[in-house]
Structure 1
Amino acid sequence: MLDQKLQEQIDSFVEKNRNQIVETVRALVQIDSLRGEPLPGAPYGAGPRRALDRALAICKEQGLSVADHEGYCGSAVLPGQEGEIALAAHLDIVPVGEGWSVDPFSATLRDGYIVGRGARDNKGAFAADLYAMLCLRELGVPLRHSLRLIMGCNEETGMKDMEYYLSKNKAPDFTLVTDCSFPVCHGEKGGFSGDIIFPKPARVRRAGGGVARNIVPAQASAEVDCQGLDKERILALAGEAEGICAKMEGDTLTVSAEGISFHAAFPEGSKNAIGHLLRFLCGAGLLEGEDFERGRFLADTLEHYYGETLGIACADAQTGKLTCVGGLLFEENDGLHLNLDIRYPVTASGGEIGKKIAAACKEHGCSFVVTKDDAGTYVPAEHPAVQTLCRVYRELTGSERAPYTMGGGTYARKFPNAVAFGPGDPEEKLPYEPGRGDAHQPDESQNIGILLRSIKIYVAAILELDKIL
């Protein structure tokens, strides 16, 4: 346990730097760091490159030694004697989506929160990591290990940045990935993705939905040819259906569906707008014959979180249930594509999951193409580092929460000897209705008080890990 004097010194440091910490987060949130077209020195596009440049400049301004790893990621180092402990955060974001009450890149300050895309996931964590390192430097506590802050640019769309980093650099002795909730996430499900491909229904002229593969879609829409159909009945059905909006111009119906958006790793309580749209099209008689049967199959797939319709439901004691979310519906030359984001237990096989999905799709006139299979990670809860981190969190917060596993994927799966550790408070109650304020949601918000508290936790955790590693 930290002695009282050291705790007071850390609290004093955090309070003294409070405004600068907040402004560090805001400076990064104001940069649209969504992945774009590759450019020289910017493999993930101009936005992530700008965010990386700003983060490196902030670290350099604070007197840290920085390195730009060819635009894939960056790092800043506080030297020690031997070995290395890393803190890892990412600067890239998911698409903004709809439904914001503020400009998503204004970094608005509201009721103790920083509101903006990336504030919570994961730019706030970068600031917490940086100031934990700066606090340790100011305290003058000698560390055996060097500290390295790694800033990624491709976490949301593949994590190839960390694969590149590790191909060129020695892996840290231990890595704290600051991209989850406390106390410690010691296991992550595998990440699997693929496209269900099927013919565009005969009456459908256009269809689409979702903003990113790893977000339960809140919006979906279609244009449908209603020639020869009872248009008044269709509009009446739309008027009675919750979350459905429709208008008719001549023979063309434009229909949109509204859902509730959650992160794909935690779909419980969400409502998939693509599934809702397909269910309405089936119920209103707008899909016929094979199109109807296929539409019902896809709607069933999207309305169940755990892959039951596809025959892939499974679970294990280590990481729990498989989850299955259809995040994107889009058109390509060979038809409509429905992308599935699947998080599978660490004891399951992505290859077997792909075979089962392909077989289920074939029965309904669809094909399936695998686009990603990324194995999960698991560190036993009894591991000394996991136990140490839990103890630090318990002593500083009084919380008796146990270490946990999750469906979300972080950089922890890319590093040997890594776990995810904060900065989120598992007991935080966001001041919004469901589907708003969290990571990947509209009005994404970072609680400033929780972020500041995490700096103290990180300082204490690094001091303890430095002793035992």
Structure 2
Amino acid sequence: MEYGQMENESDKIILDWVDRLKDRFIPSVLELVRIDSVEREAYDGAPFGREVKRALECALDISRQLGFDTVNLDHYMGYAQYGRGENYVCAIGHVDVVPAGEGWKHPPFSGYTENGVIYSRGVLDNKGPIMACLYGLAAIKEAGISLKNPVRIIFGCDEETGFEDLKYYLSKEKPPLYGFTPDCKYPVVYSERGRALVRITGSLKQLEGFFEFVNKYFIGARNTGDRLGIDFSHQEYGVMEMRGYKLGVASDRFSGKRQAAFDVTLSYPGGVTIEEIMKRICNKAEAEGLIAQLVHNYDPVVFPKDTPMVKAMQESYERVTGLDGTPVTTTGGTYAKAMPGIVPFGPSFPGQKGISHNPNEWMSVDDLMTNAKVYALALYRLGQL
């Protein structure tokens, strides 16, 4: 039998197993989304709070019930693994969620289901999708298919508030050969924009000039940064976006004196460096006697569209959905910013926007199943590279 025929036959077997696991998969999603895993005060053995710890333990318990080996890295992160070997491929998602907020039609951690749609905080971002990855891998295992490299499903606990979980993981474990995070959109995202947090500060004696500067260059300006001269654009990424404005008072890191502070997040396209961006912002700020600082930065994530990893995901998406899987870019930010070797991949389909982080966050059972099938084939292909 030719390799292509063998792969096609394996695809059919794996997809059949995903369907057979549905009656376990959906209850697992409901079990996990009913945990209010918003980050709270740390305590011994729970760096991100009791409920985040409980969500991680729940995910690992489900993994063990499916027959996987599991590892808990001090409740910073945990993972389920299929196969053995020094190198591995992975899907990495997270079980922590943003606060529920107001405006819910039903309790936000109830797992309320109506007409085949599950409504709960975290069902899309990111508990449903990481469970889809887990059950996709379970389908491979149940089909008895061996892989060249072991596969890990990694459960993060601090994606929403700081990536401290991933920093800890990488202090204990090597990064993957290949992988993806199911925390963005389809088709496969071959490149993420850079993301930086910039702070403008001035003394309390400079309040009038400080407010004039903030109004002129941010509040009263376009969010492209054109007045600052940072409205960089790229054919594939689009133009610079400024967002997440925050005005307040902060302490000077050297003198400790209180000062006016304005924070802005920059989502910047590839093809420009953060050094060039900051040079232009600093020049404008210094001309007004103010200071601009780079608080933190993640460079753009870029993979060639024709790499085996990207192509494996594109083929898996097209095989399951029949849709065009041409790789795309994103303005969002995911674990791909800090985990070497991975890209964003799903779970939202074209046209699905404004769902996560909003009231009545939802994901349909049909979409969960489709995701599980896409991820099953993607993990199968990545595991063979």
2:350 aligned residue:
426
Verify the 8 A CA contact 1:175 1:415 in the aligned structure 2: no
Verify the 8 A CA contact 2:240 2:269 in the aligned structure 1: yes
1:308 aligned residue:
226
Count, aligned residues: 375
Verify the 8 A CA contact 1:81 1:143 in the aligned structure 2: no
What's the offset of the Cα at 1:380?
A: 0.5
Structure 1: runs of 5 or more not aligned: 203-287
Match for residue 142 of structure 2 among 127, 138, 145: 138
Q: Deviations over 1:293-336 (max 9, x none)?
A: 456426645x6232223322112346332211034344557355
Verify the 8 A CA contact 2:224 2:241 in the aligned structure 1: yes
Instruction: Tell me how far apart the structure 2 counterparts of residues 4 and 379 of structure 1 sit (CA, whole Å).
Output: 27
Verify the 8 A CA contact 2:45 2:74 in the aligned structure 1: yes
Match for residue 75 of structure 2 among 71, 76, 90: 71
Q: Provide closer, same or farther for how the CA distance between residues 361 and 454 of structure 1 changes in structure 2, counting only shifts above 3 A.
A: same
Q: Provide closer, same or farther for how the CA distance between residues 132 and 336 of structure 1 changes in structure 2, counting only shifts above 3 A.
A: same
Q: Does 1:153 align with 2:157?
A: yes
Instruction: Tell me how far apart the structure 2 counterparts of residues 118 and 53 of structure 1 sit (CA, whole Å).
Output: 16
Q: CA RMSD in A?
A: 2.9
Q: Deviations over 1:345-394 (max 9, x none)?
A: 23322233234334434556754343211222111112122122212222
What TM-score comes out, normalization by structure 2 length?
A: 0.86
SS in 2 for 1:170: coil
Structure 2: runs of 5 or more not aligned: 252-257
Instruction: Tell me how far apart the structure 1 counterparts of residues 162 and 304 of structure 2 sit (CA, whole Å).
Output: 25
Match for residue 334 of structure 2 among 401, 406, 410: 410
What TM-score comes out, normalization by structure 1 length?
A: 0.72
Instruction: Tell me how far apart the structure 2 counterparts of residues 308 and 97 of structure 1 sit (CA, whole Å).
Output: 33
1:217 aligned residue:
none
2:58 aligned residue:
54
Q: Does 1:321 align with 2:239?
A: yes
Verify the 8 A CA contact 1:128 1:451 in the aligned structure 2: yes
Which moves more between the two structures, 64-73 or 153-162?
153-162
Q: Does 1:165 align with 2:84?
A: no
Q: How does 1:65-144 map to 2 (within 5 A)?
A: 65-80=69-84, 83-144=87-148
Q: Provide closer, same or farther for how the CA distance between residues 50 and 355 of structure 1 changes in structure 2, counting only shifts above 3 A.
A: farther
Q: In the alignment, residue 441 of structure 1 is paired with which amino acid?
A: N
Verify the 8 A CA contact 1:293 1:364 in the aligned structure 2: no
What's the offset of the Cα at 1:401?
A: 3.6
Instruction: Tell me how far apart the structure 2 counterparts of residues 353 and 31 of structure 1 sit (CA, whole Å).
Output: 41
Q: Provide closer, same or farther for how the CA distance between residues 199 and 102 of structure 1 changes in structure 2, counting only shifts above 3 A.
A: farther
Q: Provide closer, same or farther for how the CA distance between residues 330 and 120 of structure 1 changes in structure 2, counting only shifts above 3 A.
A: farther
Q: Deviations over 1:101-120 (max 9, x none)?
A: 33222222133222222111
Instruction: Tell me how far apart the structure 2 counterparts of residues 115 and 336 of structure 1 sit (CA, whole Å).
Output: 41
Q: Does 1:452 align with 2:331?
A: no
Greater radius of gyration (CA): 1
Verify the 8 A CA contact 2:218 2:225 in the aligned structure 1: no
2:297 aligned residue:
373
SS in 2 for 1:304: coil
